């Protein structure tokens, strides 16, 4: 399957990765190559096969829905590029 430049631009935006216009043709070509490789999967008969959800069949453990952790705001914020007054700071989101 061939990926066009418009699709490459759309995927880059969905992935929230800025790709310069002049890089898009090369990116589209790389995607096309990888997708050609993946297309081999169409040769496989997967009728009546359930998609795998867990590689080792097991029931996930359950626990009481209670707070077991917390109260370390300073640690949570210690690696933030911009933290102010106990919050993560980001550019203006709403005009």
Partner 1 sequence: MSDLNKLTIGAARDALARGETTAVEITEACLTEIEAADALGAFVHKTPEIALEQARAADARIKAGEAAAMTGIPLGIKDLFCTRGVPSQAASRILEGFRPEYESTVTQNLFDAGAIMLGKLNMDEFAMGSSNETSVYGNAVNPWRRGNEDTALTPGGSSGGSASAVSADLCLAATGTDTGGSIRQPAAFTGITGLKPTYGRVSRWGIVAFASSLDQAGPMTKDVRDAAIMLTAMAGHDPKDSTSRDLAVPDFEAALTGDIKGKVIGIPKEYRLDGMPAEIEKLWEDGKAMLADAGAKVIDITLPHTKYALPAYYVIAPAEASSNLARYDGVRYGRRAKLAAGDGITEMYEKTRAEGFGAEVQRRVMVGTYVLSAGFYDAYYNRARKVRALIKRDFEEAFDQGVDAILTPATPSAAFGLGEMADADPVQMYLNDVFTVTVNLAGLPGISVPAGLDAKGLPLGLQLIGKPWEEGDLLNTAYALERAAGFVSKPEKWW
Where does this chain bind partner 1 (CB under 8 A)?
3, 7-8, 11-19, 27, 30-31, 33-35, 37-44, 46, 49-56, 58, 60-61, 63, 72, 75-76, 78-82, 88, 90-93
CB of 92 to partner 1, least distance (A): 6
The residues near 23 (Cβ < 8 Å, ≥ 6 apart) are none
The residues near 31 (Cβ < 8 Å, ≥ 6 apart) are 3, 7, 8, 11
CB of 57 to partner 1, least distance (A): 10
CB of 15 to partner 1, least distance (A): 4
For partner 1, give the closer residue by CB, 5 or 80.
80
For partner 1, give the closer residue by CB, 5 or 13.
13
């Amino acid at each position: 399957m061939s990926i066009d430049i418009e699709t490459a631009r759309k995927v880059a935006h969905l992935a929230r990765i800025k790709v310069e216009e002049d890089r898009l043709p090369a990116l589209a070509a790389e995607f096309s190559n990888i997708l050609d490789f993946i297309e081999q999967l169409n040769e496989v008969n997967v009728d009546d096969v359930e998609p795998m959800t867990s590689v080792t069949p097991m029931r996930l453990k359950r626990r009481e829905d209670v707070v077991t952790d917390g109260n370390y705001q300073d640690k949570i914020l210690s690696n933030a590029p911009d933290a102010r007054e106990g919050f993560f700071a980001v550019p203006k989101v709403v005009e």
